[in-house]
Amino acid sequence: MTLYAIRRLLVAIPLLIGITFISFIVIHLAPGGPVDQIGGDLGPRSTAQMQKLMREQWGLDKPLHVQYGLWLSRIVRLDFGRSFAPDGRPVLHKIAERLPVTLLLNIIELLIIVAVAIPIGVASATRQYSLFDKFTTMFVFVGFATPDFWFALLLMMLFGVQLGWLPISGLRSPNWEYLSFWRQQWDFLGHLVLPIAVATFGGLAGLSRYMRQAMLEVVRQDYIQSARAKGLAEAVVIRKHALRNALLPIVTILALSLPGLIGGSVIVEWTFGIPGMGQLMVQAVFQRDYPLVMGNLVIVATLTLVANLIADVSYGVIDPRIRLAGRRAR
Amino acid sequence: MSGFWRAFRKNRLALIGGVVVLVLIVVAVLAPMLSPWNPYRPDVKKILSTPSSHHPLGTDQLGRDVLSRMLHGARVSLAVGFVSVGIAALIGVVLGAAAGYRGGSVDATVMRLVDLMLVFPSFFLLLAVLAFLRPTIWTIMAVIGATSWMRVARLLRAEFLSLKEREFVLWSHAIGASGFRIVWRHILPNAMAPVLVAMTLGIPAAILTESGLSFLGLGVQPPYASWGNILNEGKDAIEVGWWLSFYPGLAILVTVLSYNLLGEGIRDALDPRLRQAVGRGR
């Protein structure tokens, strides 16, 4: 098992280097280089100073391979430079204060998606072509096609503006400091309801569909037939024999859907004014705060990689065939 | 082909999707003729007027007719959908074909690149690129295309891996056909089915991405109308003008739904086995 984990880790290292390489290319996509790009938009006030900052931070006057070496060596030391914003704080600090919010939201979303989508998928697979199955299939199609920002606006209009039940912006009410402890928690939870509803909607559709698919494949297998033939109750057949096997591919699907989920934070956080990494990213892009943009990009991709790695390893834990098959092949 | 049509015709949802897609294409092409008002002309006397017989879908903060703006927005969606998918397909086909046909280190490099691109949450990557480029409809198309070719590359590689061992390919080797000719004339035409399905399903994904970017204000820039940037204005008016948010979003939903139904219908009619290979992920 340890061997398997180490092997996955080794595969991840080139990907990690790749992340820094792609990000480095992104910097140089701008026509005439990123330094020229800055000039037009920001006016002469800060331009000259920023251009100087960028040349220093990224060593832009050196040859490309030297630049990449510098960029890499700084990232390895987790040095993403300083933000262009007037406060000029280190990028890493800015991201560190936003990261917990985004992580919290994404973990809650993931838990809800798993907890709701798996029962839905199982139920619609075991009752294929029933009314429930048709209804969930329709829900899946609509869920796939619904733009999350539109869904967010609809919920804001209904629950925020028309009914006035839920707050539609930020994570805390303006009078938060004056509330009692429990009131504060309640207030925080209220602020989470709509953003989480929006973020889980699309993922729910996707995972329940995959779960249904996986379940349908498993129940056709011979060992399910023999479980039934030896007279086990249908509930036991489904829960013990079918579900456990159907869950295996779902781990991979979940890992693959992580970048989408994290990417979705951009729109949800921006729409609901939640101070997480997604909102930080959009603000940084608007302000052309390049060090912050690059820091965000590298960190988000690295986190996704780590999450994939965890999923890979846990796949090996729950399914011995995976780790053994890999060993024999090599 | 007739077998395909017979199977496709039985799928009523896919037919409906196809009809809606056709109508949308016609609407987008004829938008200037169909629009009752000039979509760019503000009218201070009609700021945020509710839907009425004059303005069936109301007006926006500048008094511009929402219906006319949405009709013009349909052209943006259509163009972005087709062009960015075309770019993605081009990159995906070239890399996938090279990986599948050459194998070895070319294959390994391409597949690692695919893995790498999939590690980036696409919205973060798109935004980072757009921070350095000026967002115009052309850069948006290029950027969406350049970040969504991975599925096509994977599918085509898989097809090439199996096709290149088939007898008709071995025979063309034997009669001395060039590598390019074998790939272009013999393997590629036989490998295109899953790519076409992936492209059909890629169009709605690109439309969603473009409208998301425009919603953030980092996509198609005003005064040009796109469904996403009308929604961006709608966000600031949720308390006074529900129609500004409701209709453009509904248009996106219907469009994406129709393309998805059509794409899945084509896939099932072409080859039900593709259901496994060309699933949809987000």
pLDDT tens by residue, B191-236: 888 888 889 889 999 999 999 999 998 888 888 889 998 888 888 8
Q: Is residue B213 part of a domain?
A: yes
DSSP single-letter state for residue B121: -
- CATH code of the domain containing B204: 1.10.3720.10
Task: Report residue B276's pLDDT band, with 50, 70 and 90 as the boundaries.
Answer: low
Of B121, B133, B239, the CB nearest to A262: B121
Task: Tell me the residues of chain B between 158 and 177 that have a Cβ less than 8 Å away from chain A.
Answer: none
Q: Cβ contacts of residue A118 below 8 Å, gap of 6+?
A: A207, A208, A211, A247, A250
B73 domain-assigned: yes
The answer to the question of residue B50 being in a domain is: no
Position with higher pLDDT, A107 vs A83: A107
* B52 falls within a domain: no
pLDDT reading at B257 higher than 90 = yes
Of the candidate ranges A171-175, B87-91, B168-172, the one whose mean pLDDT is the lowest? A171-175
pLDDT at B68 > cutoff 90: no
Give contacts of B115 with chain A, Cβ < 8 Å.
Answer: 15
Residue B94 has pLDDT above 90, yes or no: yes
Over residues A117-140, mean pLDDT:
88
B44 in any annotated domain? no
Nearest chain B residue (CA) to A293 = B128
- Which residue shows structure tokens 């796949």? A315
SS3 of A225-283: the string is HHHHHCCCCHHHHHHHHHHHHHHHHHHHHHHHHHHHHHHHHHHHHHHHCCCCHHHHHHH
Give the residue from chain B lying closest to A295, CA to CA.
Answer: B128
B64 φ, ψ to 5°?
-85, 150
**Confidence check: pLDDT of B26 > 80:** yes
Sign of the alpha-carbon torsion through A283, A286, A290, A295: positive
From the CA of A213, how many Å to the nearest CA of chain B? 9
Taking the Cβ of residue B105 and every Cβ of chain A, the question of whether any pair is shorter than 8 Å is answered with: no
Q: Do A263 and B212 touch (CB under 8 A)?
A: no
Close Cβ partners of B264 (under 8 Å, ≥ 6 residues apart):
B14, B201
Check residue B35 and give its pLDDT. 79
Question: A5 CB contacts (<8 Å, ≥6 apart)?
Answer: A313, A316
DSSP state of B271: -
* Alpha-carbon gap: B118 to the closest alpha carbon of chain A (Å): 8
Q: For residue A225, is pLDDT > 70?
A: yes
What counts of helices (H) and strands (E) characterise chain A? 13, 0
**Distance from C-alpha of B55 to C-alpha of B30, rounded to nearest angstrom:** 19
Q: Are A314 and A306 in contact, with CB atoms under 8 Å apart?
A: no
Using DSSP's 3-state secondary structure scheme, residue B238 falls into coil
* pLDDT confidence bin for B99, thresholds 50/70/90: very high
Give residue B282's pLDDT.
34
User: CB contact, 8 Å: B261 with chain A?
Assistant: yes
pLDDT at B277 > cutoff 70: no
Q: Say how many domains are in chain B.
A: 1
With respect to residue B48, please indicate whether it lies within any of the assigned structural domains. Answer: no
- Going B115 to B152 to B85 to B249, the CA torsion angle's sign is negative
Residue B22 within a domain: yes
Residues A184-222: tens digit of each pLDDT: 888 888 888 899 999 898 788 888 888 888 888 888 888
pLDDT for position A33: 59
Instruction: Kindly state whether residue B214 falls inside one of the protein's structural domains.
Output: yes
Q: Which among B131, B235, B257 has the least Cβ separation from residue A142?
A: B257
Of A167-176, B112-121, B196-205, give the lowest mean pLDDT range: A167-176
What is chain B's mean pLDDT, rounded? Answer: 85
Where on the phi/psi map is residue A78: left (φ > 0), alpha (ψ -120 to 50), or beta?
left
The mean per-residue pLDDT over the stretch B142-164 comes to 90
Share of chain A above pLDDT 70, in %: 89
Residues of B in contact with A145 (CB under 8 A): 204, 252-254, 256-257, 260
Q: Which of B123, B217, B252 sits opposite A147 (nearest CB)?
A: B252
- Structure-model confidence comparison of residues B63 and A16, the more confident one: A16
Q: Which of B112, B124, B212 sits opposite A300 (nearest CB)?
A: B124
pLDDT at A35: 64
pLDDT at position B280 is: 44
Residues B62-68 have a mean pLDDT of: 82
Across the A/B interface, how many CB contacts are shorter than 8 Å? 166
The Cα A280–Cα A287 span in angstroms is: 10
Interface touch B123/A202, C-beta < 8 Å: no
The band of A45, judged by pLDDT with boundaries at 50, 70 and 90, is low
Pseudo-torsion of CA A279, A285, A288, A293, nearest 10°?
80
CA-nearest of A281, A283, A299 to A80 is A299
Domain around B157: 2-36+57-281
